[in-house]
Amino acid sequence: MAMETQEPGDGRTDSIGPWAARAADPQYRAAVLDLLGALAYGELSAFERLAEDAKFAPGITEKAALARMASAEYQHFQLLHDRLAEVGADPVAVMEPFVEPLENFHRMTAPSDWLEGLVKAYVGDAIATDFYREVAVRLDDDTRELVLRVMSDTGHAGFAVERVRQAIAEDPRVGGRLALWGRRLMGEALSQAQRVVAERDALSNLLVGGAQVRGFDLVEVGKMFNRITETHTKRMAALGLAS
Amino acid sequence: MAMETQEPGDGRTDSIGPWAARAADPQYRAAVLDLLGALAYGELSAFERLAEDAKFAPGITEKAALARMASAEYQHFQLLHDRLAEVGADPVAVMEPFVEPLENFHRMTAPSDWLEGLVKAYVGDAIATDFYREVAVRLDDDTRELVLRVMSDTGHAGFAVERVRQAIAEDPRVGGRLALWGRRLMGEALSQAQRVVAERDALSNLLVGGAQVRGFDLVEVGKMFNRITETHTKRMAALGLAS
């Protein structure tokens, strides 16, 4: 895969103004509703899968750690849901188009044991943070503030790193298996994301070019995915996993 | 089953003093640690099962409602866990004796569909509240405040009532099936509670007689279970289910 050296956005950007001013543009409004709907259902399905993966936890401490992450995802869902209602959208209708891609992703990446669950929790949390950072720079002030608030509360998955490293130290073959698993997680995430991009024009335009860019730019989408993939690769290496 | 007309405690009682004063009695301390351990693991396992039952939800709204309840249970777990650590106990060790009875309960009462899941969420929430109310009157001021705080935040299951009533109205046979289910839930809860009572003397003494009563009093335990059963019976009737 071609390497893309451009740095991901750092969350700072020139303001494009408050929501109230931008939302007058129906295409911008549609794009932000799509984004919030995708994020909201993403959080709800992440809650559900983390909670389900808690069944693999080897002890109470580990079960509680996954439950804490799941609970944080639910809080994010609530914030995003309430914001959708606040701007006059029907949260359920807005989330609907993203149910199938997200359920597909989780169905294709159901962990078969505790370590796969840990890697998925860690990788999923990290990819979500990268995506939030990418998208935040293209948003109006109010939506950006919400997205950054949800993002600032992630990172609960740090506990996974030590456990995974320890498991690899005890049995190096585990590393090979989990490296394959990490690749599969990223592959399935990209596959479902490509599908969403293909089907949701307004959202795609927002993701790649900000509200100003009307034209659908596949090259820009590819660059964003490359940046996220590159960060994922570095992260897997830090975890002791070749990706 | 013999009816017991005594009213459940209303949460008001003469103070037996603060935790710091009472905890000098090793039997009282052991009993409260048992109680907090049982409640904490109860909340963690309730979180896990509610989250798992969310898979039956017929739509996003219902899934989100179960996720909200599960998330509230996790918050309760966190409060109880932190309190155990605060008084110098090892939370995991204190929870350990209650893992098997609670896992048994959930294994024996795994819902087979959405309506059974709803009734379980509603009944479980309500029985927990009844139990908190019973036990609060026997506690030192600090522990009582914690228990009442956890209790005040329950009641998320109210949304279940309307759904269950509607399902029965649409198909009265559903009522018969769910009435049986309600009986089974209460039966399994009592069965596991009896086992805990038999194995945990200090906790049992606290539950039935307060710190003053040293003797194990099976009659008092039976009366408490009868009060909770009676309240359950009234609740099922209000839901349109003969129990």
Q: Is the pLDDT of residue B170 over 90?
A: yes
Q: Identify the CATH assignment for B21-238 out of 1.10.760.10, 1.20.1260.10, 3.40.50.300, 1.10.10.10.
A: 1.20.1260.10
Interface test mutation site (partner A, options B47, B80, B95, B153, max chain A beta carbons within 10 A): B47
Choose the most confident range, by mean pLDDT, from A197-201, B10-14, B68-72.
Answer: B68-72
Of the candidates A41, A68, A81, the beta carbon closest to that of B74 is on: A68
Residues A210-239 as b or e (16 or more Cβ within 10 Å = b): ebeeeeeeeebbbebbbbbbbbbbebbeeb
Of A79, A73, A94, A85, the residue nearest A30 (C-alpha): A94
Give yes or no for residue B74 having a pLDDT over 50: yes
Q: What is the pLDDT of residues A158-193, one digit of tens each?
A: 778 888 989 999 998 999 999 999 999 999 988 888
Q: Is B54 an 8 Å CB contact of chain A? A: yes
A63 to chain B: which residues are within 8 Å by CB? Answer: 44, 48
Instruction: Report whether pLDDT(A7) > 50.
Output: no
Top-confidence range, A173-182, B83-92, B136-145, B171-180: B83-92
Cβ <8 Å between B68 and A61? no
User: What is the structure's pLDDT at A62?
Assistant: 92
Local structure of residue B220 (DSSP, 8 states): H
User: Residue A214: its pLDDT value, please?
Assistant: 44
Chains A and B form CB pairs within 8 A to the count of 74
Task: Give yes or no for A55 touching B (CB within 8 A).
Answer: yes
Confidence at residue B201, expressed as pLDDT on a 0 to 100 scale = 76
Name the residue facing A51 among B51, B60, B81 (closest C-beta): B51
Give the whole-number percent of chain A exceeding pLDDT 70: 88
Tell whether A198 lies on the interface with B, counting CB pairs under 8 A.
no
Distance from CA of B14 to the nearest CA of A (A): 36
Under 8 Å between Cβ of B236 and B242? yes
Residues of B in Cβ contact (< 8 Å) with A53: none
- Look at residue B3 in the predicted model and tell me its pLDDT: 40
Task: Report pLDDT digits (tens) over A27-41.
Answer: 889 989 999 999 999
Interface contact B97, partner A, CB < 8 A? no
Q: How many CA atoms lie less than 13 Å away from B27 in the CB half-sphere?
A: 13
Confidence at residue A10, expressed as pLDDT on a 0 to 100 scale = 47
The predicted-structure confidence for B21-42, as pLDDT tens digits, reads as follows: 999 998 889 989 999 999 999 9
pLDDT tens digit sequence for A205-229? 777 665 454 444 667 778 888 898 9
Architecture of domain A19-238: Up-down Bundle (1.20)
Q: What share of chain B is helix, strand, coil (3-state, %, to 5)?
A: 75, 0, 25
State whether B63 and A48 contact (CB < 8 Å).
Answer: yes
What is the reported pLDDT for B124? 85
Contact of A180 with chain B, judged by CB distance below 8 Å, is answered with no
Q: Is B52 at the interface with chain A, CB within 8 A? A: yes
Given a contact cutoff of 8 angstroms between Cβ atoms, the answer to whether A18 and A141 are in contact is: yes
pLDDT-wise least confident of A96-110, A113-127, B81-95, B228-242:
B228-242
**A9-23, B90-104, B155-169: which is most confident:** B90-104
pLDDT tier at B155, thresholds 50, 70, 90: low
Q: What is the DSSP string of B17-79?
A: --HHHHTTSHHHHHHHHHHHHHHHHHHHHHHHHHHHHGGG-SSHHHHHHHHHHHHHHHHHHHH
The answer to whether the CB atoms of A74 and B77 lie below 8 A apart is: no
Q: Where are the domains of chain B?
A: 21-238
CA A160 to chain centre: 17
